Amino acid sequence: MAGEAVEFQHDGVRVSGYLAHPEGAPRAGMIVIQEWWGLNDDIREIAGRYAAEGYLAFAPDMYHGTVTTEPDEARKLAMGLERDLAAREIDAAIGWLKSQHGVSAVGCVGFCMGGGLTLATAIRPSSGVDAAHVYYGGGMPEGADLSKLSVPVMASYGYDEAERAQSLETALAAANIEHDVKVYEGASHGFFNASRNFHADASADSWERARAWFALHLAS
């Protein structure tokens, strides 16, 4: 699928990132939110996979040009992220896809740090997101914030985050939110990343679940 670096302004917020185009008219939009490494080739490839499924997929650059492969640097970048600004950029990207590209629904999927940002997006009434898939989120909202969820949420975790998965599933059930939370035995945090803790079976299964989830909840 064709992809390009883009920069735009929407509702007074300037956003940059990577846009992957489907063949033909998009079935819906998709926001793909990076891990703490930054907007790297792995995240661009995931955006391309969603584009191949018919989505107009946009990966916002949360670090505005900075990418790293070093864990210590990634940790510093994640801790230094201005989350209020990140929220405005994600909301602007969703609004841009809907208003400028004619998609009626937009999903959001995020990994590690991006998983936490994805769940926060699902909580925010201002986001306009229609469905979410959280991968082993870092910096996850907890407690009372989870009661504000109002859109369908899928979540995929490794065995090392089973407690976090159970906490999220309990909150989603209490809020009567349609959900699908799965823990993959034998897989660990980051299992979808082809260059890190990749787990082939968990990655493949979570991808098929995601395809079905978004096809159901983002249908026009």
Spatial CA neighbour of 168 closest among 189, 154, 150, 187: 154
Token output for 34: 């990076």
With helix as H, strand as E and coil as C, how does 6-55 read? EEEEECCEEEEEEEECCCCCCCEEEEEECCCCCCCHHHHHHHHHHHHCCE
Q: How confident is the model at residue 144 (pLDDT cuts 50, 70, 90)?
A: low
Q: For the chain, what are the domain ranges?
A: 3-217
Token pair for 148: 């504000």
pLDDT band at 115 (very low <50, low <70, confident <90, very high): very high
| Structure confidence at residue 81 (pLDDT) | 96
84-98, 115-129, 145-159: the lowest-pLDDT one: 145-159
Q: Is the pTM of this model over 0.85?
A: yes
pLDDT band at 63 (very low <50, low <70, confident <90, very high): very high
Pick the CATH number of 3-217 from 1.10.3720.10, 3.40.50.1820, 3.30.300.30, 3.90.1570.30: 3.40.50.1820
